Amino acid sequence: MRERKRLESLVADDEQLVRRTGDIETYFELAREDEDVLADLEREVKALGAFGEELEARTMLGGEADPLNAIVTVHPGAGGTESQDWAEMLLRMYLRWAEQQGFKTEMNDYQDGEEAGIKSATFTIMGEYAFGQLAGESGVHRLVRISPFDSAKRRHTSFASVYVSPEIDETIHVDIKPEDLRVDTYRSGGKGGQHVNTTDSAVRMTHIPTGIVVQCQNERSQHKNRDKAMKMMRSRLYEYELEKKQAASKKLEDTKLDINFGSQIRSYVLQPYRMAKDHRTKVEVGDVDKVLDGYLEPFLKGYLLAKRRGTANGAGPADDLDV
């Protein structure tokens, strides 16, 4: 059914492309006799160009894992409360994006910050091509603003990392040997109710050969948390093996080695001016509040197009952002 839906969408796009192209040809014929039609012609050509870019971006979503759900993890960088608050802002941004796309979300692990924000959060976005669209979001994200936690109202720079992996379904096999896993249980902290906080229901799972660690504590039972942790581990290992096979391209993990200055993939500036800029694709959006409220389409599409053309550079310095 999923493949049928995908093919029906391709046919509909093709029909729309043919119809729009035909409309423009008609406008050209009319413009030879009436110059007043030129404004309509220009508008239609621009609209067709935007539609063509959208179709081009979709052709990038042909990878084996692209149609799958996405597991997103957000971690604050150094900086205590500032970075933890920024991590929570990023968490809200992706949840809002998912909501606007009509996707469902499920929180797997959530750890409150000491004073504000979060220490970490892992959640699943469930929707068609969720991973394919969000894969380029992995990396370090930087925020520049007047700190609400600084009584002197000074400008602060905060960092947080985002990691996106596909939720592996039954169609993709990932072999995990039991002896390669270490499973630790512990008492959950923070939200969750009396039962969650008084029993060893939380699960931390470590894949010893690779050092990959996942944890889940949001379910009431240890069994459910273990099942979710295993699903997350399969996804992380799939992504790990995929990166090893794609040695010719820049590995996804390289963009988040250090959660500090110089390694960011995108900056969100609230002071002294307002702008969100992706340092790999040079895509800029002036309405940064709209971006933080989930408007990610320009960045997602820009990354897919740049990746197709081979111009999606890795993370780098802040370019011309004088902050």
pLDDT of residue 313: 59
* Average pLDDT in the chain: 84
Which of 57-66, 110-119, 197-206, 243-252 holds the top average pLDDT? Answer: 110-119
Burial classification of residue 162, based on how many CB atoms lie within 10 Å of its CB (0-12 exposed, 13-18 middle, 19 or more buried): buried
307-320 tens-digit pLDDT: 877 766 555 544 44
Q: Is the model more confident about 242 or about 185?
A: 185
Q: What is the pLDDT of residues 257-276, one digit of tens each?
A: 445 545 689 999 998 899 99
Confidence (pLDDT) at 315: 52
Average pLDDT over residues 31-35: 87
pLDDT digits (tens, 9 = 90+) for 137-193: 999 999 999 988 887 888 899 999 999 998 876 666 677 888 999 999 887 765 544
What is the separation of C-alpha 199 from the centre of its chain, rounded to a whole number of angstroms? Answer: 33
Q: How far is CA 109 from CA 85, 165, 174, 183, in A?
A: 17, 15, 22, 16
Q: What is the pLDDT of residue 181?
A: 92
pTM over the 0.75 mark:
no
- Residue 229 tokens, joined: 């942790």
Determine the Cα–Cα distance for residues 257 and 182; give it in Å rounded to an integer.
24
Q: Is the pLDDT of residue 97 over 90?
A: yes
